[in-house]
Structure 1
Amino acid sequence: MTRLNLPDGAVTLQAGPAPKATGNWNRIAYAAAHVVADPLADGDPWLDANVDWDRTLAFREHLWSLGFGVAEAMDTAQRGMGLDWSSSLELIRRSTALARDKGALIASGAGTDHLAPGPDVTVDDVIRAYEEQCEAVEAAGSRVILMASRALARAAKGPEDYERVYTRVLSGLQQPAILHWLGEMFDPALEGYWGTSDHMAAMDTALSVIEANAAKVDGIKISLLSAEKEIAMRRRLPEGVRMYTGDDFNYPDLIEGDDRGYSHALLGIFDPIAGVAARALSQLAEGDKAAYHQTFAPTVPLSRHIFKAPTRFYKTGVVFMAYLTGHQDHFTMIGGQESTRSTLHLADIIRLANSAGLFTDPELVAARARPVFAARGVEL
């Protein structure tokens, strides 16, 4: 029995079941994967994107082995919060080559993050930036996830500019893309995306873009943390266009769906809960909805905690879980992001992950947790 005296109360760590490869699922499930920093790189950790390529790619192999697709170079990989475009492209190239060798599913983020928003940036500049990244992603052999653009949010005068940009960029793609509507809770610079701060009015614009370019759209991932808004949009999508839930608060119900449809998934929370999520998705495919909810339910409090406001700092919890469970040997992040959550926040991650059965090796978890908390003045 492994016991930790966490600062907000002691907890006894329990061994959960080992993750295993599963059968065919009836939902497409992408896990947005994190990057592993190289803690021994000779550079400025706040400024330089020093990636441990071996450990980063090994984690993608772990996700593929469980049945997930990988959503590469997204916000979970600290895109725009430490991972720049040049490092993102290197990551996309390496991951796509590995996916090709394994016959695994991958889609990768293309945005405009090499174009700094500013008063002199025009909509045409945004189009050129999008096209540059899309061409590079497709040249690497990956499907595109068309990420929301901070530069477009700054340059656009109204919904018509979004329609113009997306129609132009989608028209040049070789394969249908997944659009990504990332809410301002994940990135404050995206406030007012689609030309308005009213999410329902913004939805009208997004749907107009999708309907006009349906042949070029595989689906849309929305990350608004509102089940009601996702369902409303899902029911209005053109036939053949998928909804990919990005709702890390309400994913079990959204993936299950209702008598009018369901969501596929492209989720950051699938990174730390991959083993349990794979089991739940297998149970859903087998038609055992009671077991599906029983498996997923304990992960929801953990997800809501990891993604609590300020939501953009959720990556810290994702990487902390990867460290605790042995997927990397340190709790160091690109950009020094390991410092963005409090000691009590990290303690609650341990407590909630334990309740969700995510720790297969409690002794390893305890050994990993102790030095992190000791560095923060807490002896476990």
Structure 2
Amino acid sequence: MIYLTEEHLLLKNTIREFSTNEIKPLAQAIDENSTFPIESIKKLSDLGMMGIPWPEKYNGGGMDYLSLVIVIEEIAKVCVSTAVTLMAHTSLGSGLFALFGDENQKNDYLKRLSTGEILGAFALTEPNAGSDAGNTQTKAILSDGKFTVNGQKVFCTNAGYAGVIIFTARIIEDDIEKGVGALYVDAGTPGLILGEPEDKMGWKGSDTRSVYFDNMVIPEKNILGDIKTGYKQFLQTLTAGRITIAALSIGIAQGAYESALNYTKEREAFGKKINQFQAVSFKLADMATQIEAAKLLVYNAAWLKDQGKDVIKSAAMAKLFSSEATMKITTDAIQIHGGYGYIREYNVERFFRDAKILEIGEGTSEIQRIIISREILKSLRNQ
């Protein structure tokens, strides 16, 4: 593929072998028992995979964003709970430190995040602020060099295992609202309360829970970037995050497709392999085509980001197409398996459950269509 260099291909092969040998044997139990994949994360830390796109001076891998996409894709082929833990830690839990942190914040936090010494989490969604992220109700009142924070976040990935949690809040000083800013808090800070893990349909091993701030006090220095541009900062982070969600999608899609393809070589009906029937072979053809199209969109978005280009539209397109294609591919994978596809012993039902949230998290499909259409119309006005 034109986007992949020899270094990318070497990384892809290395992570594929690691995922097959070290992560895949654990995937079924992680899903069945809703077990956080701490063992796999430690191994990924030892491999240097927890800070892939961040500079080497901050203990990062010094690689590009496409490398991060490749790693997430390969892990998601076998265990999305592990892949999403790494994804949320890197693109969201570390990204704001890398992009907007000052030198002290990068030395104090990004260095430890990049090695996997601590996990990162990003708390954005609230009970009344989902797609409408600007409706954040959490408040951080600044007085005497400290923020007093009150509010609630929901669906926060990695929160229960994170060493630091980035969160958004309305900044208020002298009774004047300054805007929505990105703040961070260390695990164990008084007033930081973690809810119980959510019992989810998929991503069973990924830690997802509510986060509560009850008169939590943090120093004024615990703010990332400029208060006045805080909202734009986390929107920029979400844009990059959509590329990594898309990487999860193509990983899951390939895992489901490969399972279905292999099953058609084994299963016989009416005296021949089921892949000899047009009804099945046409499904395989559609699945393979959708995967190739999705990969091109995702790799292109990552490549454009690495070139410093505006990726608002391309990231939304990659996320929209890949997530919806993956939902269709995992559905067809179950159909090809027939009744066996409905049984936990066969991985396709797990891929199906893991796929649905891809159309919701990091901006729903409906939001992606709004973004894409807005960018298209904007280009018309600029002609």
> Is TM > 0.5 for Structure 1 vs Structure 2?
no
TM-score of the superposed pair, with normalisation by structure 2 = 0.29
Higher helix share: 2
**Normalized per residue, which structure has more strand?**
2
